[in-house]
Amino acid sequence: MNFSLLDRVSLLFSRFFADQIQLQPIHRQLEDVNWRLGQYDGNIRALFPPRITSDMVFSSSVDVLVRDILTNWETAEHSRLSSRLLQILRAAPVFKVVHNFLASVDEIIANVENFIDCLSHVWFTQTAADLLQYPRGPKTCGFQHVFIGERKRTVKGLHSWQRLFILERQGHLITRRIIKRSPDFHLAALSFEWDETPKPYGTIFFGLPMDFEMMLFFVAFMMTKNQPITFMLVGRPVTIETYDLALIENAMSTAFFKY
């Protein structure tokens, strides 16, 4: 049987998800999230109930470093944190799995340093937040948009469940409504306010470790940017959209799951 590249990528991430992620305690603990919040009344309640603790959300040594990055990105030096994050990625099991696979497809990134450079360019290339209108304005990057979020007239990006948890516990975020249909995945559509700045609609896959999500989005971006791509994840279709920066080749502007 001949498998397409998409089939092979789906199998790679499915195996890792089933073996390394799906059986982690947090997936059972996330059943306690208020998944029907805002659907039947207008009462304001926490999305994450008190019984879901920070130690559950950030349970591994890697998660502890991720928490530091998600908490301090807006106040600390970006280059230091991005370098630290690349070190985390390089040590993560999913990095080795994905690199070994991609090395069999593309000789250029068979070298680990070339692969790291490629990851860094895709996720951390700095550009003006509004490149066309304000080219000398505040800088941002794909990682900041996807995992930290940006406040303008509305919230842009912010597709990280762990970042959502941090902001809610700090008192900076109110979830207005959330919808989750799948019994198999904690993939949800939601609306929220971050310090009174609204996010009318967004999608988040709760429970995914950041390193897994970054590698999955990276592969989706390298395969098919600026249009949807659908992987099979443990037998279920999961669609991802990624977009590049208009004026910078092979640098990501955003990535998210479709709901």
DSSP letters spanning 173-201: EEEEEEE---SS--EEEEEEEETTEEEEE
Q: What is the dihedral of CA 157, 159, 161, 165, to 10 degrees?
A: 10
SS3 36: coil
Predicted pLDDT at 42: 64
pLDDT digits (tens, 9 = 90+) for 175-216: 999 999 988 899 999 999 999 999 999 999 999 999 999 999
| pLDDT tens-place string over residues 7-65 | 999 999 999 999 999 999 999 999 999 999 987 766 678 999 999 999 999 998 889 99
Give the pLDDT confidence score for residue 170 in this predicted structure: 97
The answer for residues whose C-beta is within 8 angstroms of residue 175's C-beta and 6 or more apart is 34, 37, 38, 46, 47, 164, 168, 190, 191, 192
Exposed, middle or buried: residue 237 (CB in 10 Å: 0-12, 13-18, 19+)? Answer: exposed
pLDDT tens-digit map of 233-252: 999 999 999 999 877 889 99
- What DSSP state is assigned to residue 31? G
pLDDT at 217: 98
Kindly state the helix (H) or strand (E) to which residue 26 belongs, with its residue range: helix 25-29
Confidence of residue 218 (pLDDT cuts 50, 70, 90): very high
Task: State the pLDDT confidence band at 3, using cuts at 50, 70 and 90.
Answer: confident
pLDDT for the residue 93? 94
Q: What does the pLDDT read at residue 19?
A: 95
What pLDDT was estimated at residue 105?
86
Provide the 8-state DSSP code for 106: -
Distance CA 35, CA 188 (A): 8
pTM for the structure as a whole: 0.93
Q: Look at residue 188 in the predicted model and tell me its pLDDT.
A: 98
Helix (H) or strand (E) holding 120: helix 112-124
Section 204-229 average pLDDT: 96
Number of C-alpha atoms within 13 angstroms, CB side, residue 70? 26
pLDDT digits (tens, 9 = 90+) for 79-136: 888 898 999 899 999 999 999 999 988 888 889 999 999 999 999 998 765 545 545 5
For the chain, which residues make up each domain, given as ranges?
5-37+49-257
End-to-end CA distance of the chain: 31
Q: Are 173 and 161 in contact (CB under 8 A)?
A: no
